[in-house]
Amino acid sequence: MKQMTCNIIKIQIKSFFLTACIVLLSTVMAIGQQKYRLANEYFNSGEYEKAADLYQSLYKETPGNKTYFNLYIQCLIELNEFSRAQTVIATELKNNPNDVSLYVTHGNLLERQGMTDKAEKEYRKAIDNLGPDPSSIGSLANTYTNLAKYDLAIETYLKGEKLAKVENMFVYNLADLYRRKGDVKNMIKYYLITAEREKNSNNTQTSLQRFLNEDDYPELQKQLYKKIQEQPDIPQYGELLQWSFMQKKEYDKALRQAKALDRQLNENGMRVFNLANIIFEDNDYDNAIDAYNYIVTNKGKSTGLYLDSKRGLLKSKKAKVTENYNYTKEDLQSLKQEYTSFLNDMGRNSQTAVMMQEYAEFEALYVNELDTAIQILEEVKDFGGLQPDFIAKIKLDLGDYYLMNGDRWEASLLFSQVDKDFKEGQLGEYARYRNAKLSYYAGDFAWAQEQFKILKGATSKLISNDAIDMSVFILENLGMDTTDVTLNMFAQADLLTFENKYSEALTKLDSILILYPDHDMDDDIYYMKAQIFKKLKRTDDMIAMYNLIIEKFPEEIKADDAIYELATFYDYQLDNREKAMELYQKLFMDYSSSTYAVDARQRYRILRGDEL
């Protein structure tokens, strides 16, 4: 019992001393860190004498710390105390003869005194005496790097790999050094070697994206082609080649590479599918169609990507046909056949509900078959198992189509249902905006204007901006005459346009111009006519309307809209760079507060050939 008590006491004493030592060590370390921070502050502010005293003290406390030593020597050099620095370095060399980085420190001291030849000898001596120890190799190379002597650092790593008999031991370091030197060819060479070591090429892509200029990509692709020929079994090279094409937006080449990798690695098409989505978002519909079609054709219905790929394929074809209204009846009929064929094949159910929604939009907005569109969405609305958000979107679309078909009450009922179910969300805001628009169409301007005022604070920026525009428009034109007849006529024309009844809408707008000449609403009338002409593909009439607004109503609210619409048309449709640049410049110079100004400036710079 006595022996056990003694053992317990001994354990407690040991524990006490161990705790005391840990506390003491922590305190010493904290004091050291505080002293180091203070020394750095002195050094950075140019107070080298104070910094030197602290670095010297720190180094004496921890003699093996090269950071403290090098900073101490640097302070002495900055103070021109070369003799003192020489003595300190000589002492350190005597105590640590195998630390070759000290020769570099000595060489730097000599170089700072103008003794270039002697300095070079010291630098060479460091490399000549280098051993195979990786930490010594790294330490010496880092010392050279800190002095911006990149060639010597590279030589150190290359010799170190031979001494250590490990190929590409310092590949990351070499890639970084060649980057610092501006040697793009070798930088790429070593970054590509790093890709071999990784299961994917993501890290290499990140590095290359940070450090390559636009003119460097041909060199990257040249090296990648060679690597792929020499080592076809390493997929990272193919991935990097695909990535390089994507950086240049050469989507046809990127797609070709993605297909090759898909086949080589026996993948499920996900690589091609992800690329297809990117291409679609960048409006390259031909290559998007090619990509989606590859999955549909080569992977078949057994793949989990079939439905999404088929949807992407039809979406891309629809965008290609309908964008900018450049399509024929034959184009529309062909696309309609593809939609119906797909739905007949896959069935009309919750799995194909999204495709049915897109098909209904196509029927309503482009084929002008509103009854068909309504029938499709009524069927989708009754499917079970669909998310409430999706059902709400179906109801919003359905409300639009009922309105276009002349059934305002059914439209209002559907919008109100969504408003009730989504009081706090954006879907509710969309529904409230549509109901406010209904009141505007019906001539209840005061109530509509109040709703638009409330929707100015909508979380959706699009709804907020549209609500502000409508609120301002009604406020400016309400009560302009005693009967509000012009505003009523304009709202009716707006509704006819929404219903795709363009001929009737144009007649109504022309009636306002004839009955009420030189009205304050003229710019709005001409703008709506331009939008209708755009949909009817009456290009000359559209351009004439926009130019009329720009020339005759430069101070009105639609002026910047007209300039931007016309600029983008000359830019993207007519490929008239000079005219587009002229309009973009006018927009950001004369209408700097316009919401289009930033985009106009950026597009102007791109057309001018600036590097962004």
* Interior angle at CA 294, CA 243 and CA 203, nearest 5: 20
For residues 589 and 560, the answer to whether their CB atoms sit within 8 Å is: no
Q: pLDDT of 52-104, one tens digit each? A: 999 999 988 888 788 898 898 899 999 999 999 999 988 988 888 888 888 99
Q: pLDDT of 428-444, one tens digit each? A: 999 999 999 999 999 99
The confidence band for 14, taking pLDDT boundaries of 50, 70 and 90, is: low
Q: pLDDT of 481-535, one tens digit each? A: 556 889 999 999 999 999 889 999 999 999 999 999 988 899 999 999 999 999 8
pLDDT given at position 612: 56
- Which amino acid is it at 494? D
pLDDT given at position 21: 40
Sequence-distant (≥ 6) Cβ neighbours of residue 440 within 8 angstroms = 448, 470, 474, 491, 494
pTM: 0.74
Q: pLDDT of 95-134, one tens digit each? A: 888 888 889 989 999 989 999 999 999 999 999 999 999 9
The confidence band for 575, taking pLDDT boundaries of 50, 70 and 90, is: confident
Token pair of 437 as six digits: 């628009």
Dihedrals φ, ψ of 609, to 5°? 95, 15
3-state SS of 108-152? HHHHHCCCHHHHHHHHHHHHHCCCCCHHHHHHHHHHHHHCCCHHH
CB atoms < 10 A from the CB of 84, how many?
Answer: 14
Longest CA span, the chain = 119
The confidence band for 313, taking pLDDT boundaries of 50, 70 and 90, is: very high
Q: What is the mean pLDDT of the chain?
A: 89
CATH number of this structure's domain 477-608: 1.25.40.10
pLDDT given at position 20: 43
* DSSP state, residue 365: I
Q: pLDDT of 352-365, one tens digit each? A: 999 999 999 999 98
The radius of gyration of the chain from alpha carbons, rounded to an integer in Å, stands at: 37
Q: Which helix (H) or strand (E) holds 278?
A: helix 270-281
Q: Range with the lowest mean pLDDT among 37-46, 199-208, 332-341?
A: 199-208
Q: pLDDT of 473-485, one tens digit each? A: 898 887 655 568 8
The confidence band for 1, taking pLDDT boundaries of 50, 70 and 90, is: low
pLDDT given at position 494: 95
Sequence-distant (≥ 6) Cβ neighbours of residue 352 within 8 angstroms = 307, 342, 343, 346
Q: Which residue has the tokens 């057994």?
A: 302
The confidence band for 196, taking pLDDT boundaries of 50, 70 and 90, is: confident
